[in-house]
Amino acid sequence: MSVKKIVGDSARDLTIAIDDRFDFSLHQLFRDSYSGAEETGTVFTLDLSKTSYMDSSALGMILLLKDHAEKVSGKVIIKNPSDSVAKILEIAQFHRLMTIEK
């Protein structure tokens, strides 16, 4: 499976890693990876270091994750996007909406 969920030391620290292609086919898996995390202040780290491609529905899925994070007063951090993925995030100006760490 190309959606990996890693719960950190604290329950308020959740990393979701996407391998290879991040597109609509991952919709359900992606949603399942965070939907149980209801702890207040949870930080959702989205590790895109192994993501080779991302389409616009993936951007939509990240926005749904952001909605969820805001509901529990947490936040989303996007980590290590590859060059091609970073370009897509830049065109969509996502750094204006959430933290992107290179």
Partner 1 sequence: MADGLNERHYKLALVVDDSVMQCKVLSVLLKEEGYRVYSANDGARGVDMYIKYQPDLVLMDINMPIMNGYEAARQIKSLSKNTLAPLIFITSMDTDQAFIESIEAGGDGILVRPFSPEVFKAKIKSIQRISDLYAQVKSLQQAQQKDAELAEQLMSGVIESRNYALERIGIFKKAADLFSGDIQLTAQCPNGDVNVLLGDFTGHGLRSSIGAIPLAETFRVMTKKGFSLFEIIDQVNAQLYDLLPSDLFLAATFVSVSSHDSTAYVFNAGLPDTYIYDEQGNVKHKIPSSHPPLGVIQQLLPGCQLNVVSVNEADRILLLSDGIIEARNEKGDMYGIERFEQAAISGVKEGDITKSLLADLEDFCGNMVQEDDISLINIPCKGWESPILVAQIQQGDSSLGEYVELAENGAIWQWQVKLTGEKLAKVNPIPMAMGYVHEVEGGGEQWQNLFTVLTELFVNALDHGVLGLNSDLKKEADGFAQYFHERENRLKSLSTGFVELTLSYYAAGNGGRMLIKIKDSGKGFDHQALELSTKQVAIESQQLSGRGILLVSQLCEQLHYQEDGTMVSAEYVIN
Q: What is the nearest approach in angstroms of partner 1 to the Cβ of residue 10?
A: 27
Q: What is the identity of the amino acid at 95?
A: H
Nearer to partner 1, 44 or 94 (CB): 94
The residue among 10 and 52 lying less far from partner 1, judged by its C-beta, is: 52
Taking alpha carbons only, the member of 57, 91, 63 closest to residue 76 is 63
Facing residues of 7 across strands?
Answer: 14
CB of 68 to partner 1, least distance (A): 10
In angstroms, give the least distance from the CB of 85 to partner 1: 12
For partner 1, give the closer residue by CB, 73 or 84.
Answer: 84
- If you ran DSSP here, which 8-state letter would residue 31 be given? H
Give the CA angle between residues 35, 41, 51 to the nearest 5°: 55
Question: Which stretches of the chain bind partner 1, using CB under 8 A?
Answer: 24, 55-57, 59-61, 63-64, 66-67, 90-94, 96-97
Q: List residues bridging with 77 in a β-sheet.
A: 45, 99
